[in-house]
Each structure stands twice: as structure tokens, then as C-alpha cells.
Chain A
Amino acid sequence: MTPQRAETLEWLVQRASAAVLAICVIVHLAVIVLAVQGGVTAKEIAGRVGGSIPWLMFYSVFIIAVALHAPAGLRNILREYTPLGRRATHWVMAAVCALILVMGFRAVIGLYGLGA
């Protein structure tokens, strides 16, 4: 793939994931404001997410969108303020993407499993 095509599609993925994240974040903020009333406990979180397919789906979409969005933003910062080139920043992006996917899914699948 040419650099032109790659950069253009990376930009598109970043913007598309941003649009998805806008919706996820609005929902997440609403959940935060509602859940924080009366204090948050492990039981309360497990009660919401445990065994719930809709919440599992929601958080899965959220995690994937963040895993695509955050590395792209980080890459701009690295390209603009460090001497790292295209190849190096692509490796950093892949590592951050993997980290978010692994840690995120470990958390959400674990929480889902608590209600099964």
C-alpha cells in the first residue's frame, strides 16, 4: 500500500472511531453520573455488567474504538515532537493498540463472567 493511501485510511479510521467514541463517551458519562450516586462498589458494577449481553456488546465496541483511536493520536504527538519515523511510530501504535485490547477485554469479559 502506498504511504498516501495508508495515511489517508489511518486518518479515516481515526475520525470514524472518534464518531463512535462520541456516542460511547456520552453513554459512559451518563453511567458514571448515575452510578456515582450513593457510592460505587464492586458488587454494583458486577450487578450491571455481569451476565448482560447488551453491556458486554457496548463495552466491546467502546474498547475496540479506543484501541483504534488512541494510537493514532499518540502517533501525531510522536511524529511532531520526537525524531521517530513512520515505521517506528507504527510499531508503537500496534503495541498501544494491543495493550488496550488485552487489558480492556480482560476487564470486561471478567466483569461479564461474574453474572453468568
Chain B
Amino acid sequence: MTQNNEDRVASLLQQGLESYGTGDVARAFLLWNEVLELDPGNEEALDYMRDADRRSKPRGDAGGGAVAIVEDARRLAHSENEEAALELLTSMPSGGALEAEAMVELLRARLFRRYGSELGDLSQIPRVAGDGGDLQGRNLPPSAGFLLSMVDGMTPLSDLMSVSGMDRFEALRSIHRMHEAGILEWD
């Protein structure tokens, strides 16, 4: 990651914390999600997202808390930030309200289409950008690392998704993020 990007990540993390501190959880998620676009698997951003919802939800009010989070997620999705909306919803503790889980599925379906149209033809053959030497500093999540390990310059994206054994949404999302972050490229 370039120095510029590192500074930008640090700034976004800080701005997210400030938004969270003022009670604007949705904006905080939006900013932390931007961090993940620059640095997929950034542990700090993921930790903030995991903890934020738990801390902000009043005890004994799981139903009301879930409704508020779903509304925040809707707001994010309507402002073209479906990624952040999904992160916000999936950071809820397991056993969440069915409405929230349903909203997650709605966003997954929409994002899958979006990734597909942005990535284009899935018969393209990806390769690791540059010499790959920078990968260790990227904080890649295990799923992304697993996908990368199968990138051999001969296997097309569609086959990569099939042989990964991952949920097709998760596989495409991971590929999309690595492409956005400049880790994967193709002609």
C-alpha cells in the first residue's frame, strides 16, 4: 500500500470513530467500509464494525435495536452505499431479527449483480498485480488469501469461483475487492 493510501486509511478510521462518537453509526460504517475498499481485511476497520453495533444497541431492546439498524442500512443503501449497509447489518450479533437477515439477503442479491457488471466477463483470467511482494502488508482475510493462492495466470474468474468451494457471493465479493484494491488485474 502506498504512503498516500496509508494516510487515507488512518484518516478514514479516525473520522469513522468521530462519527461513531457523535452517534452517527451509519456514517461511521460508511467510512470504515471505505477503508476496506482501500485495504481489504483491515483488522482495525473490521474490529470497529464488529463492536460498534453491539455497543450501540441498548440492552434488553434487541427488537428495537434491530429496527434502528435496518433503517440505518436502508439509508446507506439508498445513498449508493450498499457495501456499508451490508457491513452494518452483518455486524449485528447472531440471532438477529428476521427482518434484518432478510435485508442482508436483499443487499447480497443486489451487490452480486453489481459486482458482476463491474467486473465484466467472468471468463477473464486474473493475475496478481505487480510482483505480489506487497501482499503480506495487506491484511488480507483468509478467504481472499485462499482465492489468491489459486490465481495461476491460467484459471478464469468463473472457474476460480467454482473451485474455491465458497458461496458464489463471497467469492465474487472477494475478487471484486481485490480488483478494486489493485491486487488482482486482468487485460
A and B part of one assembly: no
Residue numbers of A with Cβ under 8 A of B are: none
